[in-house]
Amino acid sequence: MIHLLESTIGWIRKNPVGLKLNHQVSECLAQFFSYHIFLWDTFISVVYSKYVVTAFLCSGVLGISVLIASLIDVVNLLTIHILCFHIYASRLATISFKALLSLLRLFRGAKYNPLRKRVDSVILDSRQLFLATLFLTTLIFLFPTIGVYYSVFSVLHYTVCLIRFVLLSSLELANSIFSY
């Protein structure tokens, strides 16, 4: 699984699907996620031992539902980093999208007032509009890079969610069939 994630990050670094991503931001995010993969690999190498595997295999003696529940726990443990990647990428995309909306609202002469929880009007001078224009164009050009990382890690996360759903459904089926 580590090689799959590293190859996915390497694929994103090389302008996937013909998209021209921002090289600096892509490298920064790729290094961040690569370091997180390294930390996760270190964690798994510490946790993984022959006793854990033996305990998992011995749980089959207690019945199919215990074995499936143990398998769900193992899948959750082995894919916690994908959940973290999804959370990091979604937070980054959410912050970028909110900043983009705020800057677009600023050009219409409005701003959000968090104290009154409403949109108020605002008059900006030329310097403030110039800075807003710089931030807006920078954010627009960075948005595809952030969007690609968000999309890739969302697909991975929802794939893991599908696997968990199948395992939980099989656990429910096993509990309903083999109830005494």
Task: Give tens-digit pLDDT for 122-144.
Answer: 787 888 888 888 999 999 999 99
Give the whole-angstrom CA distance, residue 12 versus residue 26: 8
Contact 75, 167 (CB under 8 A): yes
In this prediction, residue 31 carries a pLDDT of 94
Ramachandran sector of residue 123 (left: φ over 0; alpha: ψ -120 to 50; beta: rest): beta
Q: How confident is the model at residue 74 (pLDDT cuts 50, 70, 90)?
A: confident
Write down the mean pLDDT value for the chain: 86
Pairing state between β 110-113 and 118-121 = antiparallel
Local structure of 63: helix, strand or coil: coil
In this prediction, residue 179 carries a pLDDT of 62
Range of the domain at 17: 1-178
Give the whole-angstrom CA distance, residue 122 versus residue 132: 13
Query: Is the pLDDT assigned to residue 180 strictly greater than 80?
Result: no
Contact 36, 85 (CB under 8 A): yes
Query: Is the pLDDT assigned to residue 164 strictly greater than 90?
Result: yes
Q: What is the mean pLDDT of residues 87-114?
A: 88
Domain total of the chain: 1
pTM here? Answer: 0.82
Query: Is the pLDDT assigned to residue 47 strictly greater than 60?
Result: yes
Query: Is the pLDDT assigned to residue 13 strictly greater than 90?
Result: no
Secondary structure of 101-116 as H, E, C letters: HHHHHHHCCEEEECCC
Q: What is the mean pLDDT of residues 94-102?
A: 93
